[in-house]
Structure 1
Amino acid sequence: MEQIAGKPEALTDKEFHYCPGCTHGIVHRLVAEVIDELEIQEETIGVAPVGCAVLAYEYFDVDMHQAAHGRAPALATGIKRVHSDKTVFTYQGDGDLAAIGTAEIVHAAARGEELTTIFINNAIFGMTGGQMAPTTLLDQKATTSPEGRKVKDAGYPIRMSEMLATLDGSTYIARVSVDSPQNIKKAKKAIKKAFEIQVEGKGFALVEVLSTCPTNWGVSPQEAIEWLQDNMIPYYPLGPIKDVEVEK
């Protein structure tokens, strides 16, 4: 019997630990499929974050490093500068990238480091119990904002992709979602482009992926998808935000 689908070579056989309805697993598969299609598995080095994806080094069948919380771009910079012939990517959540790691990602982008960053935005701190993140929406409840995020207390949610797009060193910045089959296809296309930009030596690329966290949002997986569609996408609009190749 002909096999028409299977596990990407760039994924291990390790079972994911993610909660039911979490979309990390979908994104892992997309990244692995891209690595397979570009035939760069033996040349790829990934950097795992601190957060729900902390065990990414057990799932991607490529050389992996573990960074301290928020420091993945700094570690990836060192790896890429020593191994300039390798394809280096970071996989980070919003707590890792947009909170404790803000300086690292900003300066990596500003320097135009030849890195690919996969940024998972689920608008909350997932692994540590559901605290408010820099990306938490206004009036969204979290363990540290039980009455909802208020401007006077916590300011506005940060649109990281738009901010990074203002930096001259960034080449490609896009925001995607994995809430539907159509958007999953678009997400893969953006992730593939972000890797291709690095392979071709064209600079820093980041893809922000809107993701769900049913456990800490306190809803069912289906309700989480609907909440993302109704609340996150209007505030974090999808599509390419910066594409130097197109702009030229």
Structure 2
Amino acid sequence: MAKDLLTPKLVSELNRFCPGCGHGLIGKIIAQVLEERGVEDRAIQVYAVGCSCLISTVVQADSIQAQHGRAPAVASGVRRARPDAVVYTYQGDGDAAAIGLSESLYAAYRNENYTAIFVNNGVFGMTGGQMAPTTLEGQKTATSIYGRDTSVTGQPFKLAELVAQMPVAYVERCSLTDAKHIAQTKRAIGKAFDNQLAGKGYSFIEILSPCPTNWKMEPVDAYKRLQDIVAGEYKLGVLKDSEEE
């Protein structure tokens, strides 16, 4: 049976992300999921600081920009004040796993009834490609010019595994490496929103995404690195599903 693959109405023609960046694709997926459920008019996206804040140029939903790292706190307040709304946070790894780690963990600990979308590209993107908590061992960045030394900085931080220890509804790590994994990412985001609509609580979706600009790679090579190297460190799959416990 043929499917209508037209661009979602929520998606703007404007895309301010770099060539090959995964943020624009993720935005399209979010818009598809919201429109397929008929909740686009009730959607409120909350983002903070970093490349993730440009999601508002792609997804034309109602939006709130929080202070750096504070999107979970703002989303918690919005969801409680507007229980009819469909609320989601959209954050990068530097935002959610570094400066906003406390807010990320406590929103999960409280099992707030919203959807968290966490984009992991292994760097602070907007500010020039500095090392993030998620940067891989040996990876060169603007602040680890000889490669990340884990004996000094610690191991790459796995936020999804930590969130999965909390009393939350759902945690899954996905990737944008190819069509199969993009389809799985859409299914995961869909399940996360379904959990929210059913009042089941907090769902956390981590998405491995390339940053060709700060990885200093052509987009094709960046996606290959994502599949061959990054996904080897950050294992894909469902980390927690309260329905199966």
Provide TM-score, normalisation by structure 2.
0.97
What is residue 224 of structure 2 aligned with on the other side? 226
- The yes-or-no answer on 1:181 pairing with 2:179 is yes
Moved more, 208-217 or 43-52: 43-52
2:24/2:55 contact within 8 Å kept: no
Partner of 1:146: 145
Contact 2:24 2:58 in 1 (8 A): no
Give the aligned residue type for 1:158: F
Please say if 1:86 is aligned against 2:101: no
What is the correspondence of 1:90-239 to structure 2 with a 5 Å cutoff? 90-168=89-167, 170-239=168-237
Q: Counterpart amino acid of 2:103?
A: E
Deviation at 1:3, TM superposition (A): 9.2
- CA shift at 1:44, angstroms? 1.0
Q: Secondary structure at the match of 1:39?
A: coil
Secondary structure of the residue aligned to 2:124 is: coil
1:10 is aligned to 2:10: yes
CA distance in 2, matches of 1:60, 1:80: 19
In the TM superposition, residue 5 of structure 1 has moved relative to its aligned partner by 2.5
- TM-score by length of structure 1 reads 0.96
> Which whole-Å deviations, capped at 9, do the CAs of 1:85-106 have from their partners, x for residues lacking one?
1110000000110000000010
Shift of 1:48: 1.9
List runs of 5+ in structure 1 lacking aligned partners: none
Separation in 2, partners of 1:88, 1:150:
38
- Taking the aligned partners of 1:184 and 1:3, their CA distance within structure 2 comes to 17
- State the distance in 2 between where 1:215 and 1:59 align: 19
Contact 1:197 1:205 in 2 (8 A): yes
Deviation for aligned residue 1:54: 1.3
1:179-217 deviations in Å (ceiling 9; x for gaps): 100100000000000010001100000100000001100
- Equivalent residue of 1:55, what SS? helix
> Is the 2:28–2:58 contact (alpha carbons within 8 Å) kept by the matching residues of 1?
no
Q: How is 1:10-89 mapped onto 2 (pairs within 5 angstroms)? A: 10-13=10-13, 15-89=14-88
| Aligned counterpart in structure 2 of residue 241 of structure 1, from 236, 239, 242 | 239
Query: Does the aligned pair in 2 maintain the 1:57–1:66 contact within 8 Å?
Result: no
Give secondary structure in 1 for the equivalent of 2:34: helix
How many residues were matched structurally? 244
Deviations 1:52-77 (A, max 9, x none): 12122232222111111100000001
Structure 1's consecutive aligned runs of 4 or more residues displaced over 4 angstroms after TM superposition are none
Checking the alignment, whether the CA contact within 8 Å between 2:12 and 2:60 is kept in structure 1 is: yes
CA RMSD of aligned residues (A): 1.2
